[in-house]
Amino acid sequence: MSELKDISETITLEATKEYVQVTLQANQYQLEKLEQFQQFLKPSRGFLSGKIMQATEEALVIQYSKDQYTQSILKAIKKMDQYERLLLAQKVHYLVDFLGTPVQPFIHPENIYILGEELLIAHRGFMQAIVPYSTNEEQFFKQYRALILAILHPKYEYEQLIQGNGTLKDTLSKQLQEAKTINEIEQIIGEQVIRQKAKREAETKLVSKKSYLTFKWASLVLLA
């Protein structure tokens, strides 16, 4: 069980192979709005389906179902190389689609899951009724940028990166921390993907050439 913090709220999350369970405190939801909220817990693209397990004046417990092979991006990125992380960073752009809508994803590496090529959000809020509440562009941008940095640097805590306080000193991270818009971030990541792809292709060609030469000389030795 973990306490996860975004830009303004803290939730309690427990993840198992079969589900992700989130607990909200009394001041983080409105009981009278739960019927509307349940409409957004149904199975839909980009989300884990959920159901309310407990709803009292003291706590709200929501359980989100997941496949046993579904893992949080926090775990997934630890097994990825830099190029794969950059590709994942491009994929989270779909979170932008929820800006200004009644549904607000809880943006945190432990609340976003990956199954194959698909990204899935576990907990999400609803308007000003269920945490996280609908946010403004400035708050959303800070969280989005922090998520990108957390994907590229798994050793750092997401919470540390939200304010963009210059913790990371490498060139790419500095560019991202200086970015002022989501479009700038997307452009920076896109350029890095192109560079890393070219680098990988060059390395693959070099390895193939070395393997060919090794095989060629080995064949000549055997024939001698």
Per-residue model confidence as pLDDT tens digits over 99-147: 989 999 999 999 999 999 899 999 999 999 999 998 899 999 999 999 9
User: Band of the pLDDT at 195, cuts 50, 70, 90?
Assistant: very high
- pTM of the complete model: 0.86
**pLDDT tens per residue, range 135-164:** 899 999 999 999 999 999 999 999 989 876
Amino acid 200: pLDDT: 81
pLDDT at 199: 83
Q: What average pLDDT is seen over the chain?
A: 90
Pull the structure tokens for residue 153: 């640097």
Distance of CA 102 to CAs 43, 45, 63, 145, 222, Å?
Answer: 17, 16, 20, 22, 72
Give residue 10's Cα distance to chain centre. 17
Task: Please name each of the domains of the chain with its CATH number.
Answer: 68-191 (1.10.510.10)
